[in-house]
Amino acid sequence: MSTRVRSHEMDMCNGPLLSKLIIFAVPVMLSGVLQLFFNAADVVVVGRFAGKEALAAVGSTSSLINLLVNLFVGLAVGTNVLVARFYGANNAKDVEETVHTSIVMAVISGIMLIFIGFFFTKPILVLMGSPSDVLPLSAIYLKIYFLGMPAMMLYNFGAAILRAIGDTKRPMIYLTIAGIVNVLLNLLFVIPFKLSVVGVALATTISQCLSAALVIIALIREDGYCKLNLNKLKINRHKLLMLLKVGLPAGMQGCIFSISNVLIQSSVNSFNSTVMAANTAGSSIEGFVYVAMNAFHQTAVSFTSQNYGAKKIKRIKKTAVYCILMVSAVGLVLGNFAYFFSDPLLRLYIDSSQSSVPEIIKYGSLRMLYICTTYFLCGIMDTLVGVIRGLGYSVMPMIVSLLGACAFRVVWIFTVFAQNHSLPILYVSYPISWALTATVHFICLMIVWKGVKKRLEEE
């Protein structure tokens, strides 16, 4: 395979493993951080220049956006797994069919999300208990935001294709460009034009269109296995079924976590807009720690898939060990750093002239105490899922997550939290669910590994 590796590609099946894992993961990490600018810039600008209600409106939509988007983004995970596996096995035709099927699916997914965003977000916000002073702003933000869904889907599917062959630098560059445009448009629309949540939603949508255009142009200009030919855009039924087999459970798992987060957001909404604003700022900061850790989940998926296609058993095992060690280190360092500097970080999100600043800092720091300091558990959990999914097993981690994350948190909210209606009791459900779910994922990986090892040795 090394004879056909081009400048943008990476041979994950040969050569030094640890250095390649790091070279792959760092741009993914930076890409995730840049992608967060889409929402974080919204939150910072609107919080400082449009007021507490606007901040709460933008922030309270994140769990709902994740709920509606994760199912379709999960299909991009299927794209990553299949392209990497076929690439590792040197199957050019299978890679080509997967690429074109995936791009068509991206467009269809985006159009479906526009429809969902326009007609169902407001009723869901009402069910979530959004306060009356926040609901109208949240609804208009979501309607404009969802206009950019086809672009978001095209970027995610396109980036998944590039990362499957080891190209993590170009997606990072494209997000850098889009992130800068997003920040500039936020400042323009909110400060001089006074568009508040409408302005930040428009900025995000325009930026998503830019990043999507850049990644599609890159695929069209590609001269390797992953070249996109617009004349060949069609759905290959066999590849679609394979993509759905891996991607649909991955998307369902994302939705499962999002459902539990929607329930927790609803519980946060039961306090007041000050707590909602603090929760918004705290969760935005945590997001940067999460995407840094999630880079190792994506690294594990790509490296495991390529080496599975190439039948490199020992390399798969080393990939799992290295990724778990690295995600633990990153989670512990960044999570505790975020909590230690929670006061100045939270102040970035709020207008210093507001009388509620001390309360926002207090409640935001409380959230970060329970979540940031234990976030490495979530990183380990996700990385284990990445390895399992890279081996072609996607339903199993979905079921485990259904029980360990969603079911546990739902039970917690309606029992423990209902008896003791306090934020610490609500937030502690996160680390407990991560620890339980990671433990079960590890047991599942040990079971899966025995079967995979035996099958590859016999082939």
| pLDDT, mean over the chain | 88
Q: Which residues contact 251 (CB under 8 A, 6 or more apart)?
A: 70, 71, 72, 73, 74, 75, 77
Q: Does any domain span residue 44?
A: yes
Domains: count for the chain: 1
Arithmetic mean of pLDDT, 280-308: 91
The answer on pLDDT for 30 being more than 90 is: no
Q: Does any domain span residue 4?
A: no
Share of the chain above pLDDT 90, in %: 54
Q: Does any domain span residue 253?
A: yes
In order of 46, 94, 243, 331, 418, the CA distances from 389 in angstroms are: 38, 19, 12, 21, 36
pLDDT tens digits along 425-446 = 888 988 999 999 999 999 999 9
pLDDT tens digits along 208-238 = 999 999 999 999 999 888 999 999 999 999 9
**Spatial distance between the Cα atoms of 438 and 378, rounded to a whole number of angstroms:** 8
In order of 132, 164, 170, 174, 414, the CA distances from 298 in angstroms are: 39, 9, 16, 18, 34
pLDDT tens digits along 389-424 = 999 899 999 899 888 877 888 888 889 988 888 888
pLDDT at 2: 42
Burial class (CB in 10 A: 0-12, 13-18, 19+), 260: buried
Residues in the chain: 459
**Spatial distance between the Cα atoms of 301 and 57, rounded to a whole number of angstroms:** 35
C-alpha torsion 144→258→119→279, nearest 10: -50
Q: Which residues contact 318 (CB under 8 A, 6 or more apart)?
A: 17
List the structure tokens of 242.
């394979």
- Domain with 76, as residue range(s), is 10-458
Q: Of 454, 416, 349, nearest to 46 (Cα)?
A: 349
The answer on pLDDT for 126 being more than 90 is: no
Residue, of 8 and 353, whose pLDDT is higher = 8
pTM of the model: 0.85
Q: Does any domain span residue 268?
A: yes
Q: Does any domain span residue 420?
A: yes
pLDDT at 3: 43
Of the given ranges (11-25, 142-156, 271-285), which has the lowest mean pLDDT?
Answer: 271-285
Q: Does any domain span residue 232?
A: yes
**Spatial distance between the Cα atoms of 276 and 265, rounded to a whole number of angstroms:** 8
CB 47 within 8 A of CB 337: no
Q: Does any domain span residue 3?
A: no
Q: Does any domain span residue 422?
A: yes
Arithmetic mean of pLDDT, 71-96: 92
Of the given ranges (88-92, 269-273, 349-353, 420-424), which has the lowest mean pLDDT?
Answer: 349-353
